[in-house]
Copies of this chain bind each other. A is one copy, B any other.
Amino acid sequence: VQVGIDIGAQTIKIGVKDKNGGYKIKTGIKTEPDFIKTAHNLKREIEKSFGRASLLIIGCFGPLDLTKKKIIKAPNLPGWAGVSFSDWEKILGCPIILENDANLAIFGETKVGAGKGYKIVAGFTLGSGVGYGCVIDGKIYHGNWDVEAGHMVLDPDGPVCGCGQKGCLEAYVSAGAIKRQFGKEPIYMKDERVWDFVAKKIAQGVQIITVSVKPDVFVLCGGIAQHKGLLKRVKTHYLNMLKIYPKEAAETKIMTGKYIEQAGVIGAIELPMSS
């Protein structure tokens, strides 16, 4: 069976397509600080839930070297820095396709979610970090390495980001950035001025991708995107900022993802069926 896997810094989701065309997904598997131990746990969980795997499609936090199947940096999980998923292929006994987790989330939304039926779908995953993905004609767009537009610099003298840059979009709107700037975790944040600030930064990111890539739809995934009223604020700021296109040019449709938290694992499950 082909198994889709979405690896976060804290937990892992695994899933397969069921015989009715839906998905069987298991969430909450712990991401161990030890990379190898995690593989052994996963092997057990996969066999228990779905049987023997023939192919794993893994979406993982980055930055990644997709060709070498390696994690380059892992600031939130130091034991995972520099590891290679080739080692997992030996433990799990089957080949692995590695992808950027945000790419798979936007791919999942394109295949079966909010972006279904559109030719060019771009989106941010707004959570502990800010991921970006773009799907053109049903294929994930990589560029010459991989796109990481959550780290577009909005202010070269802005706050320091986990990636080492200053003033990235992520340094303003990720869960950690909201806490650093305003003193509270997003789930406890009630101050709508803070959410307006966050929405305006996200809107700026969407404006920039719109003029650079001109997608048909822009999908906002991840926990931050679920905050009530955020989408409306993003749209309002976006329309205030974007004047360059004439009315005849259809505006980019901005929407929240259909699968929000599960888009990544669904994208992983769907990936091999689409190539």
The chain B residue with its CB closest to the CB of A168 is B244
Residues in B with CB closer than 8 Å to A216 are: 144
Q: How many copies does the complex hold?
A: 2
- Determine whether the beta carbon of A152 is less than 8 Å from that of B207: yes
Quick check: A149 and B212 within 8 Å, CB to CB? yes
Q: Does A214 contact B (CB under 8 A)?
A: yes
Q: Indicate if the CB atoms of A147 and B243 lie closer than 8 Å.
A: no
In angstroms, Cα B142 to Cα A258, docked, is: 27
How many of A's residues come within 8 Å of B, CB to CB?
Answer: 50
Q: Is the CB of B243 within 8 A of A163?
A: yes
Chain B residue at smallest Cβ distance from A147:
B214
Q: How far is the CA of A146 from the CA of B119 in the complex (A)?
A: 14
> Are B211 and A241 within 8 A (Cβ)?
no
Q: Evaluate contact between B214 and A245: CB separation under 8 angstroms.
A: no
Q: Which of A219-275 contact B (CB under 8 A)?
A: 237, 240-246, 248-250
Contact of A151 among B165, B168, B211 (CB under 8 A): B211
Least CB distance, A129 to chain B, in whole angstroms: 11
Please tell me if the beta carbons of B215 and A65 are within 8 angstroms of each other in the complex.
no
- In this assembly, does A97 line the interface, its C-beta being within 8 Å of a C-beta of chain B? no
Beta-carbon contact of A248 and B204 below 8 Å? no
Known A143-B215, A147-B212, A151-B211; 16 more pairs at CB < 8 Å: A63-B245, A65-B246, A72-B246, A132-B212, A145-B249, A148-B245, A149-B208, A149-B212, A152-B211, A156-B237, A163-B244, A164-B243, A164-B244, A165-B243, A165-B244, A208-B208
